[in-house]
Amino acid sequence: MVLEAAIKNQLNQYLQLMEGNVQLKVSAGSDQLSKDLLAFIDEIASLSSQITVEKASLPRTPSFSVNRPGEDTGITFAGIPLGHEFTSLVLALLQVSGRAPKVDQGVIDQIKKISGEYHFETYVSLSCHNCPDVIQALNVMSLLNPNISNTMIDGASFKEEAESKNIMAVPAVYLNGEFFNGGRISLEEILAKLGSAPDSSALSNKDPFDVLVVGGGPSGASAAIYTARKGLRTGVVAERFGGQIQETLGIDNFISVKHTEGPKLAASLEEHVKDYDVDVMNLQRAKDIKKNDLFEVELESGAVLKSKAVILSTGARWRNVNVPGEQEFKNKGVAYCPHCDGPLFEGKDVAVIGGGNSGIEAAIDLAGIVKHVTVLEFMPELKADEVLQKRLYSLPNVTVLKNVQTKEINGTDKVTGITCVDRATQDETHIELQGVFVQIGLVPNTDWLEGTVERTRVGEIIVDKYGATSVPGLYAAGDCTNSPYKQIIISMGSGATAALGAFDYLIRN
Binding site for ligand FAD (CB under 6 A): 214-220, 237-241, 243-245, 247-248, 251, 253, 285-286, 313-316, 445, 448, 478-479, 486-489, 491
List, in sequence order, every beta strand (DSSP E) within 458-502: 474-476
Residue nearer to ligand FAD on the CB measure, 26 or 334 = 334
Q: Is 353 annotated in some ligand binding site?
A: yes
Q: How far is the CB of 483 from ligand FAD (least distance, A)?
A: 9
> Is 286 annotated among the ligand-binding residues?
no
Task: Between 233 and 339, name the residue whose CB sits nearer to ligand FAD.
Answer: 339
Is there a binding annotation on residue 22? no
Query: Minimal distance in Å, beta carbon 436 to ligand FAD?
Result: 17
Q: Which long-range contacts (CB under 8 A, 24 or more apart) does 263-266 make?
A: 263/129, 263/133, 265/218, 265/488, 266/241, 266/242
Q: Which is nearer to ligand FAD, 75 or 498 (CB)?
A: 498
Q: How far is the CB of 251 from ligand FAD (least distance, A)?
A: 4
Q: CA-CA distance, 5 to 44, in Å (whole number)? A: 12
Which positions ≥6 away from 307 have C-beta within 8 Å?
208, 209, 210, 211, 212, 235, 294, 295, 297
Residue 471: CB minimum distance to ligand FAD, A? 17
Any binding-site annotation on 471? Answer: yes
| Residue 315, annotated as binding a ligand | no
DSSP string of 77-133? EES---GGGHHHHHHHHHHHHTPPPS--HHHHHHHHH--S-EEEEEEE-TT-SSHHH
Concatenated DSSP letters for 141-194?
HHHH-TTEEEEEEETTTTHHHHHHTT--SSSEEEETTEEEEES---HHHHHHHT
Q: Is 162 annotated as a binding residue?
A: no
Q: Indicate the residue among 71 and 252 with the shorter CB distance to ligand FAD.
A: 252
The smaller minimum CB distance to ligand FAD, of residues 14 and 448, is found at: 448
DSSP secondary structure code for residue 448 in this structure: G
- Calculate the CA 329 to chain-centre distance: 19
Q: Is 357 annotated as a binding residue?
A: yes
Q: What is the DSSP letter of 200?
A: -
Query: Which residues, other chains included, contact 57 with Cβ-Cβ below 8 Å and sequence gap of 6+?
Result: 27
**Nearest to ligand FAD by Cβ — which residue?**
315
Least Å distance between CB 315 and ligand FAD?
2
250 in a known ligand binding site:
no
Q: Which is nearer to ligand FAD, 328 or 365 (CB)?
A: 365
Please state the closest distance from residue 91 (CB atom) to ligand FAD, in A.
25
Annotated binding site for NAD(+): 349-363
Annotated binding site: 210-225, 349-363, 469-479
Annotated binding site for FAD: 210-225, 469-479
